[in-house]
Amino acid sequence: MDTNTGIGTTAGAPVTDEHVAAWRRDGYVVIPDFLTPAEVERAVADVAAYRPTWAEIDAAPHRYPAVFGEARGFDEFPYQGDTLNAISVHPELMRTARRILGTDEIALATSLLWAKYAGLHDFEQELHADYRNNTLVHPREDGVYVQIPFILYLTDVDTTMGPTYVVPRQHTDGEPAHVNRRGRATHPDLYRYETPVTATAGSLLMYTMSTFHRGSAITATSGHRYTMHMVYRAAQCQWMGWRAWARYADGPEMARFMVRATPEQRCLLGVPAPGDAYWDATTIEGVAARYPGIDMTPYVAGVVS
């Protein structure tokens, strides 16, 4: 069966032990060339279903009124394009999450596609940590309680294209994390330690929910910035998340994902694994009818007669 492996499983740079060690020490790390140029090209082709290029906006601005009206121009998983879906459940992201969390039972909490454009909005932010709208409680950075945010760059980001600024963890340890936003006037020392994350297309930024960071203004006079934002967590931590995937279950994008995904990839959305007590003759028949073309063989094999 044709499964959701549109960007491949072996190309690109892995997340190494050295990357994870730097992430633990500094609160962030950049993995260059996580995707190959060919993979980036396929992903950008998928973006065209959702967002125009800067050149298209510049040539006919009246065709894109929504872009001028929304500073947070993002779209959410599931996507029309197989490559964007495959990035969301990339095997290396799964492997990294399992290694850090110490469990095989993991979940995809968030997948966003975000487009920013030169000259349209002010993207300058205060330093902040992301946990406030990603968990009901307070962040922990150990064991299964870790949330792992990733930013994947689909376009080059230099200092003129609104790079994310990050403050290494060494300079924020001991700071009260519940004071989520740190303005330049009240916390000038933090801004002296911030550094811009400049990256080439295909690079991956991994950080934490306690890492202080901010979006910055795009000072270039032309250009667009495409990024994907994924968050992984342990499946048991139900107090974390951005959306409930069942909210999108009735759309054609989710149907396409469900048909093309592997059982392992479906588990990231909370679908019971083969062998789970949920699966019986009735549920197998019902899911097969709901998603024509889905391969239910692994679930049938897991049913104990």
DSSP, residue by residue, 44-91: HHHHTTT---HHHHHH-GGG-HHHHH-SSEEEESS-SSHHHHHHHT-H
Comparing CA positions, the residue from 288, 293, 236 lying closest to residue 267 is: 236
Is 192 a member of any domain?
Answer: yes
Q: How would you label 163-191 residue by residue, b for 16+ Cβ within 10 Å and e otherwise?
A: bbbbbbbebbeeeeeeeeebeeeebeebb
Contacts of 33 (CB under 8 A, 6+ apart): 12, 13, 200, 202, 203
pLDDT digits (tens, 9 = 90+) for 106-140: 999 999 999 999 988 889 999 999 988 888 888 88
Predicted confidence (pLDDT) at residue 165 exceeds the cutoff of 50:
yes
Is 292 a member of any domain?
Answer: no
Looking at residue 59, its pLDDT comes to: 93
pLDDT digits (tens, 9 = 90+) for 254-269: 999 999 999 999 999 9
Is 22 a member of any domain?
Answer: yes
Contact 232, 147 (CB under 8 A): yes
The per-residue pLDDT of the chain, averaged, comes to 91
Is 229 a member of any domain?
Answer: yes
The secondary element (H helix, E strand) that includes residue 195 is strand 195-197
Is 196 a member of any domain?
Answer: yes
3-state secondary structure 88-139: HCCHHHHHHHHHHHCCCCEEEEEEEEEEEECCCCCCCCCEECHHHHCECCCC
Predicted confidence (pLDDT) at residue 86 exceeds the cutoff of 90:
yes
The share of the chain scoring above pLDDT 70, in percent, equals: 93
Is 11 a member of any domain?
Answer: no
Looking at residue 48, its pLDDT comes to: 95
Other beta carbons less than 10 A from residue 215's beta carbon: 18
Contacts of 188 (CB under 8 A, 6+ apart): none
Is 40 a member of any domain?
Answer: yes
- In this structure, what CATH number is given to the domain that contains residue 82? 2.60.120.620
How are the residues of the chain apportioned to helix, strand and coil, as percentages rounded to the nearest 5? 35, 20, 45
Total domains in the fold of the chain: 1
Other beta carbons less than 10 A from residue 117's beta carbon: 24
Domain range for 168: 17-244
The secondary element (H helix, E strand) that includes residue 228 is strand 224-234
Looking at residue 38, its pLDDT comes to: 92
When pLDDT is cut at 50, 70 and 90, the band that residue 178 belongs to is: low
pLDDT digits (tens, 9 = 90+) for 262-288: 999 999 999 999 999 999 999 999 999
Is 26 a member of any domain?
Answer: yes
